[in-house]
Amino acid sequence: MSKRAERASATAPPLYITMGEPAGIGPEIAVAAYRVLDGRVGRRALKLVGDPAVFRACGRVPAGALIDTGVRATCMPGKPSPRTAAAVTAAISHATQAAMRGEAAAIITAPIQKATLTEAGFAFPGHTEYLQHLTGARRAVMMLASARLRVVPQTIHIPLSDVPAQLNAGSIFETANIILAALQHDFGIAKPRLAVAGLNPHAGEAGTIGKEEKTVILPALRRLRTLGHHVLGPLSADTLFHDAARRHYDAALCMYHDQALIPIKTLSFWDGVNVTLGLPIVRTSPDHGTALDIAGKKKADMRSMIAAIRMAAAIAARRTKA
């Protein structure tokens, strides 16, 4: 590396990787990815945020790569405990604050155990909502992305029976605008194309299998089109994700969790990435859970973590150039 490159590397804000659930595979895949990537992506160093002892238990990591939040997370692999909740949230909060100050270029969050955090009094459904709270963002949107597909669920962690009542034209319009802006600024697509799925089978079949496409979704799409956006839909979800269909759009907005996540996890289970749109910081995460059943057994696959790290670095680079 030339002296000029060394200086650029030294001044480039690093990428922060949070610990996640200490009893899960998060620390393990964070350390494994760190070692495979030799501690950096391009000129950005990788930093591991949380309880240093948890990371060291997963493999050798240079002391300079560890950021100690000062909150301990003593536990056994595969056995989550509410006692470690403070350490989990401290890592997320510390990394987020660093990114808000410009000290970190992006944060990559290892998976958390939502049920355990809830038991400890955590007041948020998941990472997305907590990050929205920490950053003061008006709205945060969860995207799952890979080289094959990008999807966004309009509704996330709610019962399927509650979905229709939660849908409204204003919220769909707002979500679509956030997606389109992210496709331009974070993914480098000059003229993004957005596909929007219907709620009902066959996108309502002209109102014979449900009215939400006509009364809720279509009004939002008409508003988007008047602004000049390339928006397709409402489309039948059963034919939206095959190879030929995916060539016609850059992201798909779906109406509920499984409508979005089943196709992305089928196509890109090992390299899908969770990206939070609408935040003032860059945040990505592996597109999988804590995998408590294999934690500590050296069976965890790091590919989604590596993909999340690389995507965070790419988005941070685009934002820096903007």
Annotated domain spans of the chain: 1-137+277-322, 148-270
So what's the architecture of 1-137+277-322 in CATH?
Answer: 3-Layer(aba) Sandwich (3.40)
The answer to whether 1-137+277-322 and 148-270 have equal CATH topology is yes
The DSSP H or E segment spanning 197 is strand 193-197
**pLDDT for 196:** 98
Structure tokens at 262: 């089943």
pLDDT of residue 11: 76
CA geometry: angle 296, 27, 69, nearest 5 deg: 135
Query: Residue 122's closest CA among 110, 132, 113?
Result: 113
Can you give the pLDDT at residue 7? Answer: 46
* Tens-level pLDDT at each residue, the chain (322 residues): 444 444 445 579 999 999 999 999 999 999 999 999 999 999 999 999 999 999 999 999 999 999 999 999 999 999 999 999 999 999 999 999 999 999 999 999 999 999 999 999 999 988 999 999 999 999 999 999 999 999 999 999 899 999 999 999 999 999 999 999 999 999 999 999 999 999 999 999 999 999 999 999 999 999 999 999 999 999 999 999 999 999 999 999 999 999 999 999 999 999 999 999 999 999 999 999 999 999 999 999 999 999 999 999 999 999 998 6
Q: Residue 117 contacts by C-beta under 8 Å, 6 or more apart in sequence?
A: 82, 85, 88, 89
pLDDT value of position 10 = 59
The reported pLDDT for the residue numbered 9 is 52
d(CA 184, CA 192): 7
Task: Taking the CA atoms of 28, 32, 33 and 34 in sequence, report the sign of the dihedral they define.
Answer: positive
Pairing of strands 66-68, 273-277: unpaired
148-270 under CATH 3.40.190.10, yes or no = no
Contacts for 37 with CB less than 8 Å, ≥ 6 apart? 46, 306, 309
Cβ atoms < 10 Å from Cβ of 83: 13
Q: Which conformational region is residue 43 in: left (phi greater than 0), alpha (psi within -120 to 50 degrees), or beta?
A: alpha
